[in-house]
Amino acid sequence: MKQTNVTAFAGILEARRRGNTRTVLVLGSRAGAFFENRALYARLSRYSKRPFEHLAGPEKFQECFKKLRENCNESEVHTFLSEAVWGEGGLDAREEDGCLAELVKEGYFELIISTNIDTLLEDAFRRAKMRGAFDYRVFNVGSERGDPTQYTTRPRYCTLLKLFGDLISQRYTLITSEFDQGKDRELKGYLENALAGDVLVVGYDPLWDEPLGYAFPASGGDIAFVGEELPAVGSNMARVVEKRQGRYLVGAEGSYANFMRELHRQLLNQPTSYEAAAISYRASEQTSAPSRAGERLQADNAPLLSSPEAESVAGITIPSNSEVEAQRLKIFISYSHVDAPYFAALLKYLEFYQNQGLIEVWSDQDIGLGDSWFEEIKRALALTRVAILLVSIDFLNSNFINEHELPPLLEAADESKVKIVPVIVRHCPFDASGLQRFQAANKPSQPISSLSPGDQEAKWVEIAQRVKDLYRA
């Protein structure tokens, strides 16, 4: 093995792209939602007898794995992992995922094999305006079998193979069960062939990702290992990197976040979307304070759609009333972030129709890093034709939804400008919410959460089709 740096990696990736060859990117669990997840660490630290707060980052991560395996059944594991991603203190969009999405669009990676069961990368793809099934394809080993290339035409940019499954579908092999590639001979052959090529491994954890280490053939193309530390001596991963005379980058530079941001900078020679937003903000600070104060006062006091001509509010052009009636082309999804798993599940089925050009879906996932979150939501509400409300007790109790999303939607519905479709995702007092005047897509007594995984999928198919028909009516 020989040590290297990000500049060398960037040069290799660029040379391969120009030569029309690609590197397989393998993302381990340290590139996912659970590594350095404060919410997960806080909840599991009480099970540990070790001085948790004094452990290094990788040690905390591995201690969490041990405590989940030792102390929790399958249902408890799912609860812990779900709350870590979607509960209070969960993760927001990450700059490094956006960097990777941009590198994928530029053609540096066509196959990503990931052990992560969250949807952070898929969310980043959507923010980068990549369309599921057309621009990228997700192959979920938890619910799909065989060769990932045999089912569909080749996506424009990349295939994301989720080796351990998917948290939303609750079909994953992690903690309480282990991934076994031997159970699927076609998949095993596909993996062996892919991992025998040129491979870049980022974020590998020897405990969380242990089954992945056995998927690599001992011989093959170039292999590069990027992480906080080298794989343990004697481990299968270490043997593979050694036998294939691989290169490595470890330490702070080897963290997924630092590595992906720097790789993006060197390959694309431009700031990330997050940095670009910061540059734009600093430039705006050069304007005079009185001018900015006046602009804010005018924006705050102006009605959303008060002029016959288009307005500009905080840098966002808001269409006039007449323009809106001609431009109400969006399906707006309103939900509490506690219900993010249900949102993500529904979005997959709506994207099927969106990718055919039949509908246009908008949610807060379409807000880019650095964009004005509130103003983007306000603009989308003004352009909404159909609003889907994912109703739960958290939705009904949400101050933001009740103050900023529901009022313009209900007003537009009263004027027959917007069609509202409630979907009850968890048990709640829907019949006393004031929303019961709108025909719900399912019975309040049978929320989505009460259905089996298979029945949930059938219900999402039905809801997505009904919304499509309503949108096009």
* 454: in domain: yes
Residue with more model confidence, 259 or 304: 259
* 279: in domain: no
* Whether the predicted pLDDT of 343 surpasses 80: yes
Same domain, 415 and 439: yes
Instruction: Indicate which CATH number applies to the domain containing 394.
Output: 3.40.50.10140
Q: What is the pLDDT of residue 90?
A: 61
Same domain, 22 and 161: yes
CB 178 within 8 A of CB 355: no
Average pLDDT on 419-446 reads 95
Instruction: Indicate which CATH number applies to the domain containing 251.
Output: 3.40.50.1220
Same domain, 77 and 162: no
What is the Cα–Cα distance from 464 to 473, expressed in whole angstroms?
A: 14
* 308: in domain: no
Q: What is the pLDDT of residue 446?
A: 96
Same domain, 404 and 260: no
pTM, 2 dp: 0.72
What is the Cα–Cα distance from 24 to 159, expressed in whole angstroms?
A: 10
What is the Cα–Cα distance from 281 to 264, expressed in whole angstroms?
A: 21
* 240: in domain: yes
Phi, psi of 78 (to 5 degrees): -60, -40
Same domain, 232 and 117: yes
Same domain, 156 and 14: yes
CB 96 within 8 A of CB 275: no
Same domain, 190 and 238: yes
Q: What is the pLDDT of residues 435-460, one digit of tens each?
A: 999 999 999 999 999 999 889 999 99
> Range with the lowest mean pLDDT among 12-26, 150-164, 279-293?
279-293
Average pLDDT on 33-51 reads 91
* Whether the predicted pLDDT of 329 surpasses 90: no
Average pLDDT on 407-421 reads 93
Average pLDDT on 173-198 reads 83
Helix, strand or coil, per DSSP, at residue 234: coil
Q: What is the pLDDT of residue 355?
A: 84
Domain count, the chain: 3
Residues shown for the chain: 473
Nearest to 322 by CA among 334, 340, 307, 300: 307
Q: What is the pLDDT of residue 409?
A: 93
Burial zone of 3 (CB within 10 Å; 0-12 exposed, 13-18 middle, 19+ buried): exposed
Which segment, 125-134, 255-264, 272-281, 395-404, is predicted with the most confidence on average?
A: 255-264
Domain extent at residue 106: 2-33+91-274
